[in-house]
Amino acid sequence: MSEQAVWKFPVRIADGRQEITGPGLPRPVHFALQDGIPTVWAVVSPWERHELPRGIYIVGTGHPIPTGCTHVGSLQDGGFVWHLFMEGQ
């Protein structure tokens, strides 16, 4: 079976690496505020038995981007803009 689904993962606005973990290897596709909470939506494979972590970084405008990461999206929160990067592609 190759059916996939989109799951949501609340995240923190914080320096450093974070992980989202889901069946298969979650692939982030959207980053936005939901009810004031920073949230990542990612494609997962619910039929997979193993949950794998995907490394993500939330970076403020003007801050260094981690090496080897791919931009997923950006969100505006008041006067701040945050950018989501995932490890790999």
The per-residue pLDDT for 72 is 97
- Residue 81 is part of which domain span? 5-87
**For the whole model, what pTM was predicted?**
0.92
The per-residue pLDDT for 14 is 93
Residues of the chain with pLDDT under 50: none
Count of domains forming the chain: 1
The per-residue pLDDT for 1 is 54
Q: Which long-range contacts (CB under 8 A, 24 or more apart) does 8-15 make?
A: 8/34, 8/39, 8/40, 8/41, 8/42, 9/39, 9/40, 9/41, 9/42, 10/37, 10/38, 10/39, 11/38, 11/39, 11/40, 11/56, 11/58, 12/38, 12/58, 13/38, 13/58, 13/77, 13/82, 14/58
